[in-house]
Amino acid sequence: MRDLSRQLVMAPVVMARIVMVLGLMLICTLSAQATAILNPIVVIEPGAREAAVKVLNDRPVAMTYRIAIVNRRELADGKFEDAEDTKPGEMFAADFLRFSPRQVTLSPGQLQSVRILASRPNGLPPGDYKSFLRVEEIPTPEATAAIAGNGAAAIAAYLTQLMPITVKQR
């Protein structure tokens, strides 16, 4: 009798784990069809003023992307966090970087170049100034329906990607 009651208590836990594993497998499958960032590491050398990153929509439907430049700091454990303020010793590039476009909708297979311009202020001390270009997929009802399929319960994964930008000053 104890074994039966224990099995009945454990059944929801086992089912929850199975659903979680299946959900993660689905997300991993969907991630295979996602945004591709070509030339994902940007270094603007001394004397240079601009660079470009290419965003490719690998999804089977049109997708909208929001683009931003953000500051992130590395923690002692190797993880990153948003950096709203600058701490002593940190050298971020976001204050003197401009980019275009800020938002774009791409058809399946379409490629968009994102131009990045570095306007170094006069008297900028030497060093490597770092920030990140964030490319975020924006959910739309049409994209969600197409990505998730027509099932009663589905998961649509939307990705945000960060690419490092380094501006070198000598």
* Domain segments of the chain as ranges: 1-32, 34-169
Radius of gyration of the chain (CA): 22
pLDDT of residue 145: 73
Does the structure show a pLDDT above 80 at 140?
Answer: no
Measured distance CA(91)–CA(111) in Å, rounded: 32
Minimum mean pLDDT among 38-52, 96-110, 145-159: which range? Answer: 145-159
Percent of the chain at pLDDT exceeding 70: 73
Cβ atoms 37, 111 nearer than 8 A: no
Residue with tokens 């476009």: 101
Q: Specify the 3-state DSSP secondary structure of 19.
A: helix
The CATH architecture assigned to 34-169 reads Sandwich (2.60)
Please give the residue that has the higher pLDDT: either 4 or 89: 89
CA 147 to each of CA 45, 156, 157: distance values in angstroms, whole numbers, following the listed order: 40, 6, 8
**Neighbour tally for 155: CB within 10 Å:** 16
Instruction: Please give the model's pTM, rounded to 2 decimal places.
Output: 0.73
Rounded to an integer, what is the distance from CA 6 to the centroid of its chain? 43
Does the structure show a pLDDT above 70 at 106?
Answer: yes
pLDDT of residue 24: 47
Measured distance CA(42)–CA(116) in Å, rounded: 9
Measured distance CA(167)–CA(170) in Å, rounded: 10
**Which pLDDT tens digit goes with each residue over 23-79?**
444 444 444 455 777 777 899 999 999 999 999 998 888 899 999 999 999 889 999
pLDDT of residue 26: 45
